């Protein structure tokens, strides 16, 4: 029996533990070795990496991807895409979605995991279609969550829909580490019985269930599991690659991974982990086992962001109140799964409710857009009193919100002008206008300084 392993240290493990602050220079030196480990794919792009590169690391995310591709010749490169949200926090027009997907593939991506935060599959259909056209392997994701309205049948039905859309595989995306071993076994088994696609299982160690959940998923016949090299595993990250490899090997399940290479990779990342811990970038809180997460369902990246928000406001002591408020906000919004961008919306609102001392005294523009239907169809019934309080008599969008958006590429290309040197630059600006423009200005200034220095030296 065989199972494949996707390594997450370059994206989700780094995002969950150190808020995606690992620069390319920290890991470029190990990429050639990682290419020899036997991974089915390296998850290395998408999610929050794009924003973080531009905003915090002074890196061009497209050049980062091209650099990884130059080193990694044998292993598939994988990214996470938020459907119509792409890698941002709102819905973008279809022309931007299609161009972004195509450029991602052209720059080196092989596998695109595509999800919608609300499991509203209308919001991923354009991205799925374009990824297939571009020749990528499309991994349709169903966001796992628990609520009175989310059942085994709910997720099996989503799996059937993803198969009909033309996806090449289906990922059970358990972003908060709340899927129990039994549920993993039952859900993988049910999907295997009802669809013909390979099943991928993604979870986190937040609640301590992660390794057990992946073992039971493997027993049920999962085709691929997501793991993180051990020094960047655990806590809000994924289960450890090496430990899962050893356990599965004893069960007679072959991962195809090479143990000496895994050790070399882990030894390389250990000092990076140590530096992050020493500098405070890695907050020990995210390494805890939080069984309360089985109630408040906060995913790893969201928990680290909540901690950061509260620290900035000198209110970290109020984290327990925020964690209690989060599921109440989620219920009011119709039980959205807590994954980007809904996790950020719910988390920010929970913080606002706690710090203001009054629920919904301050409501973010994102929550207003959500209540208008701009993010899609809520999984369950929204608190209508809240909707009335926030929107008054404004109409709610019933259809696919992207259908109301005009094409935008030519407009944003004109806006950014000569600062953009490529279609990739224009797309960066389309997603993050303020951050990308600042990055382009800094790039220009650095080049100007380099030229001036060269002239003086000559």
CATH 3.20.20.70 domain span(s) along the chain: 4-279
Are the C-beta atoms of residues 407 and 95 closer than 8 Å to each other? yes
pTM greater than 0.85 (yes/no) = yes
Instruction: Provide the Cα torsion 349, 202, 32, 255; round to 10°.
Output: 170
**The CATH number, out of the four listed (3.20.20.70, 3.30.930.10, 3.30.56.10, 3.40.228.10), of the domain defined by the range 4-279:** 3.20.20.70
Q: What is the mean pLDDT of residues 415-441?
A: 97
Angle at 392 between CA 390 and CA 394, to 5 degrees: 105
User: Which of these ranges, 98-107, 141-150, 288-297, has the smallest mean pLDDT?
Assistant: 288-297
Q: Which of 204, 278, 190 shows the shortest CA–CA distance to 239?
A: 204
Distance, CA of 220 to CA of 328 (rounded, Å) = 34
Phi, psi of 111 (to 5 degrees): -125, 130
Interval 188-195 mean pLDDT: 98
Residue 226: per-residue pLDDT: 98
Q: Of 257 and 455, which is predicted with more confidence?
A: 257
What is the reported pLDDT for 235? 93
Who's near 100: CB < 8 A, 6+ residues apart? 86, 87, 92, 427, 430, 431
Condensed to tens digits (0 to 9), the pLDDT of residues 232-281 reads 999 999 999 999 999 999 999 999 999 999 999 999 999 999 999 999 99
Provide the b/e sequence for 374-403 (b: ≥16 CB within 10 Å).
bbbbbbeebbeebbeebeeeeeebeebbbe
Does 290 have pLDDT greater than 90?
A: no
Instruction: Specify which residues 226 forms β-bridges with.
Output: 6
Query: Could you count the other beta carbons within 10 Å of the beta carbon of residue 442?
Result: 12
**285-400: what fold?**
Cyclin A; domain 1 (1.10.472)
Report the pLDDT averaged over residues 133-147.
96
Buried b (16+ CB within 10 A) or exposed e, 308-331: ebbeeeeebeebebbbebbbebbe
Residue 361 has pLDDT above 60, yes or no: yes
What pLDDT is attached to residue 457?
58
- CATH 1.10.472.90 segments of the chain: 285-400
Q: Which residues of 216-236 are buried (b: 16+ CB within 10 A; e: fewer)?
A: bbbbbbbbbbbbbbbbbbbbb
Q: Check whether 453 has a pLDDT greater than 70.
A: no
Distance CA(128)–CA(285), nearest Å, equals 37
CB contact at 8 A, 9 and 240: no
Q: What is the pLDDT of residue 338?
A: 85
What is the Cα–Cα distance from 341 to 229, expressed in whole angstroms?
A: 26
Pick the residue with more confidence: 112 or 448?
112
């Amino acid at each position: 029996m065989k199972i494949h392993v996707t390594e997450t240290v370059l994206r989700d493990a780094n995002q969950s533990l150190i808020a995606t602050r690992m620069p390319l220079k920290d890991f470029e030196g190990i990429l050639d070795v990682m290419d020899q480990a036997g991974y089915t794919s390296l998850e290395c792009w998408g999610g929050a990496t794009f924003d973080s590169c531009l905003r915090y690391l002074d890196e061009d995310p497209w050049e980062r991807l091209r650099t990884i591709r130059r080193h990694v010749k044998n292993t598939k490169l994988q990214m996470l895409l938020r459907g119509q949200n792409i890698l941002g926090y709102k819905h973008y027009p279809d022309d931007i979605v299609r161009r972004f997907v195509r450029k991602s593939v052209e720059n080196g991506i092989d596998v695109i995991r595509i999800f919608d935060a609300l499991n509203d599959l209308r919001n991923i259909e354009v991205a799925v279609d374009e990824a297939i056209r571009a020749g990528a392997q499309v991994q349709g994701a169903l966001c796992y969550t628990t609520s009175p309205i989310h059942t085994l049948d709910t997720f099996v039905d989503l799996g059937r829909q993803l198969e009909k859309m033309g996806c090449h595989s289906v990922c059970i995306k358990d972003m908060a580490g709340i899927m129990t071993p039994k549920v993993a076994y039952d859900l993988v088994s049910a999907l295997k019985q009802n669809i013909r696609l390979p099943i991928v299982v993604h979870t986190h160690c937040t609640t301590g269930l992660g390794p057990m959940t992946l073992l039971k998923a493997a027993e049920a016949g999962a085709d691929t599991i997501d793991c993180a090299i051990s020094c960047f595993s655990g806590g809000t990250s994924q289960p450890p690659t090496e430990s899962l490899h050893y356990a599965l090997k004893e069960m007679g399940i072959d991962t195809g991974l090479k143990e000496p290479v895994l050790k070399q990779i882990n030894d390389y990342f250990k000092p990076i982990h140590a530096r992050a811990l020493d500098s405070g970038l890695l907050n020990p809180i995210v390494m805890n086992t939080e069984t309360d997460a089985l109630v408040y369902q906060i995913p790893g990246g969201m928990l680290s962001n909540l901690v950061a928000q509260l620290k900035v406001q000198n209110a970290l002591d109020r984290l327990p109140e925020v964690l209690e408020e989060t599921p109440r906000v989620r219920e009011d919004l119709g039980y959205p799964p807590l994954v980007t961008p809904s996790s950020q919306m719910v988390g920010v609102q929970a913080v606002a409710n706690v710090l203001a001392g009054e629920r919904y005294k301050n409501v973010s523009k994102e929550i207003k857009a959500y209540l208008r239907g701009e993010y899609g169809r809520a999984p369950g019934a929204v608190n209508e009193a809240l909707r009335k309080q926030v929107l008054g008599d404004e109409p709610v969008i019933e259809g696919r919100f992207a259908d109301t958006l005009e094409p935008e590429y030519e407009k944003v290309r004109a806006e950014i002008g000569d600062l953009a040197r490529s279609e990739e630059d224009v797309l960066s600006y389309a997603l993050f206008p303020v951050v990308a423009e600042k990055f382009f200005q800094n790039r220009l200034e650095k080049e100007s300084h380099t030229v001036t220095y060269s002239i003086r030296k000559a």
